[in-house]
Structure 1
């Protein structure tokens, strides 16, 4: 939680990609030491087709990327659109049968499930890893191995309506007091929840109490030991009840409702991500993006989401698939992905060239962040986490009792 979102820039990046996961990926050859040699280095240029699955929000982006890839290599990128909710599950089901794609585009927190099912192959960046944002690399790292080439980073932050307030206090309590004093404001700030809760959007507040979801080891990697128990977690639970009393959070304020409240200028602040900025600006609102002020005395650390491309362990086109992964690591591709998608590039050379105050604000807010955990244990965490927070927000349970029960329920599933 202490690493900068923008790592030291490194030019002239060239990938050395490996495909090894228990067995050898088709097309790769083993060295005498047992390491898998880089398929990208030996792949024939100017021939072949590689299939990639993408969701509906990125199909046009990757069609355009495919055109650049084909122009550079002569290899065809077959872009197949899949519904967002189906890509991971269909890939896990189809890859072992040989019916899946060579590559998929997805979030880094899929890596635990994909690796556990044996459907992805690791990627070896070697000493070129410094060319990427450290946290992007960390996000795609599991059990000491890197799975996938990251291309974009995003996180939530505090978005301010500059027409309602022109400066932001240093603490969250002061921010609430300021928001309550704004004429015409119905809410001092909104943080989306809904009837199932939303721990993701509350996480910067929770971490400011020193209560991360999981503890980390000396390398910064997550362990399976919960970090949100103890007095720090209980302190956050009590503060969450205060947020409900101050009308900052409510089960009636889901994502759409919170967004509309900000657009209707019923609140000067919202904790949200870059995906809502275009709609705010279309509504004529001048916004600034800031780090979330601390509520508990420690830095507010949002989750970081990293997007990237995974390689199927069952690909029959590993050589040309690795050519595409090599292309994805180029400044040309990462610049184009930023231009088309509006997310901070994972390649630091590209990120350093971005001149956008909105993205700069999100980057600053993410400096203390950590990638969303990719541990399989997260499946047990989300449901109990959200339910406990809802019970606190609605007053159905006392904060400390609800939090203590949540911890016990989660640990019983490990």
Structure 2
């Protein structure tokens, strides 16, 4: 789950349409050939779905609807979402793989480089249907490789018995923490897993830091912004929370969750996966977007799960058509009702089923303005050095600048090794 947004809808539209016109399957660009494609229907398409029961239930139901619509049978096979790439590497060349696969967006770069998935083409009106951040997450090296199903992000989760309403700003949240923290009694106003860059990113972004420079939809992995002036200010801010003992050093997710479930913490940063566990512990849970920090709305890392067309499919047109169908309004509304996953479509984000649910809407609002985790393979070299940097600052062993300079040096060394 460790997982920059383009400046305007117009920009994402122009860039994406330009990309699609150049790299997508040519059959979709030619109406006559599209009709020819429809005449060559396969008897069956195979989709690998995450083997979790609720996911399979939804996709099997949608498979029946797709067969009713097209006459094509869809075989749904449960495969661990994090193991599908490995399986496709083995099964694809032997014609035993799926036509459509699914995995988190941060694995797209690796899959594209290995030649496991292929760019797809979609209609212009569909470009507008998705949240722009989620759609951006489906691109790699300027090409669209899939369509998004759902997004997830951390947000502010609070105990309504200890915090009546969420703060208006992050600075107000910190003042609340200062007034409601007593480490000796294990009582805290605010906690989060600070030595985890996935959770820290929104602070860096708010001060002007970045991981890799986004150059028109392509990540320049040689331009690392994790030790620029903004990143240093962000690390100074995070370091002050440790220095003031608002957050214990070495804090892990299990401890954060345990203290919150015991009612000892007023608010935490966490994702939708944690809510049910909190509620089962008897906590009256509220969820809201993270309040503005440094005068800016926080942009957290978002994770996006999408559907992709296998590079090994013999049914490129119909596999793409199935991806379109499974990311349509009807399918994603059903998926939300079945799995609780936040849909990636803007029309559903404005639908009462999302808007009227305080918890879901809190996460949805945060995810809608989030930044997709870089989906380039180089991102894997960032997590550990950045976690170590925060740890050094939290312990007072290094200044923010020293820690970040060291982290970037280590990242660059790792990237050099990765290229060899």
Flag whether TM exceeds 0.5 (same fold): yes
Aligned mate of 1:74, from 50, 71, 74: 71
State the Cα deviation string for residues 300-332 of structure 1 (Å, max 9, x = none).
Answer: 210121111111011133344233213113221
Matches for 1:175-190 after TM superposition, within 5 Å: 175-182=173-180, 186-190=187-191
Give the conservation status (yes or no) of the 8 Å contact 1:153–1:305.
yes
Superposed displacement of residue 275, structure 1: 1.2
**2:113 aligned residue (99, 107, 116):** 116
In structure 2, the CA distance between the partners of 1:221 and 1:329, relative to structure 1 (3 Å rule), is same
Once residues 132 and 207 of structure 1 are traced to their aligned partners in structure 2, the CA distance between those partners, rounded to angstroms, is 23
- Aligned partners of 1:87 and 1:249: how far apart in 2? 38
> Which residue in the other structure is 2:202 paired with?
204
With 168-177 and 114-123 compared, the bigger mean Cα shift is at 168-177
Alignment check: 8 A CA contact 1:160 1:289 kept: yes
User: 2:200, 2:36 → 1: CA distance?
Assistant: 42
How far apart are the structure 1 equivalents of 2:36 and 2:219? 31
The answer as to whether partners of 1:20 and 1:36 remain within 8 angstroms in 2 is no
Distance 2:246 2:40 in 1: 58
Secondary structure in structure 2 of the residue aligned to 1:241: helix
Mapped contact 2:42–2:315 kept (Cα < 8 A) = no
Consecutive aligned runs of 4 or more in structure 1 exceeding 6 Å deviation: 2-7, 17-21
For each residue in 1:105-162, what CA deviation from the matched residue of structure 2 results, as whole angstroms up to 9, or x when unmatched? 1111111111111110111114121122211111101222111121112211111111
Residue 47, structure 1, aligned to residue 48, structure 2: no
| C-alpha contact 1:53 1:101 (8 A) present in aligned 2 | no
Deviation of the 1:351 alpha carbon:
2.5
Moved more, 227-236 or 92-101: 92-101
Give the unaligned 5+ runs of structure 2: 11-19
TM-score, length basis structure 1: 0.84
- Paired position in structure 1 for 2:15: none
Partner of 2:398: 397
- Between the two proteins, the alignment pairs up a number of residues equal to 394
The match for 1:373 is: 374
User: Which residue in 1 is equivalent to 2:388?
Assistant: 387
**Matches of 2:148 and 2:29 in 1, distance apart?**
26
| CA distance 1:250–1:112, shift in 2 (3 Å) | farther
CA contact (8 A) 1:153 1:344 kept: yes
Normalized against structure 2, the TM-score is what?
0.82
**Offset, 1:378:** 0.8
The answer for the alignment partner of 2:137 in structure 1 is 139
- 1:273 matched to 2:271: yes
* Counterpart for residue 240 of structure 1: 238
| Gap change, CA 1:127 and 1:241, over 3 Å in 2 | same
Residue aligning to 2:58? 61
Deviates more, 1:273-282 or 1:90-99: 90-99
The Cα shift of 1:248 comes to 4.7
Would you say the 8 A contact 2:190–2:265 is kept in 1? yes
Encode CA deviations 1:317-355: one digit per residue, 9 max, x unaligned.
334423321311322111111111212212222332233
- Unaligned segments of structure 1, at least 5 residues: 8-16
Cα separation, 1, equivalents of 2:173 and 2:375: 33
- Residue of structure 1 aligned with 2:124, choices 112, 127, 142: 127
Q: SS state of the match for residue 208, structure 1? A: helix
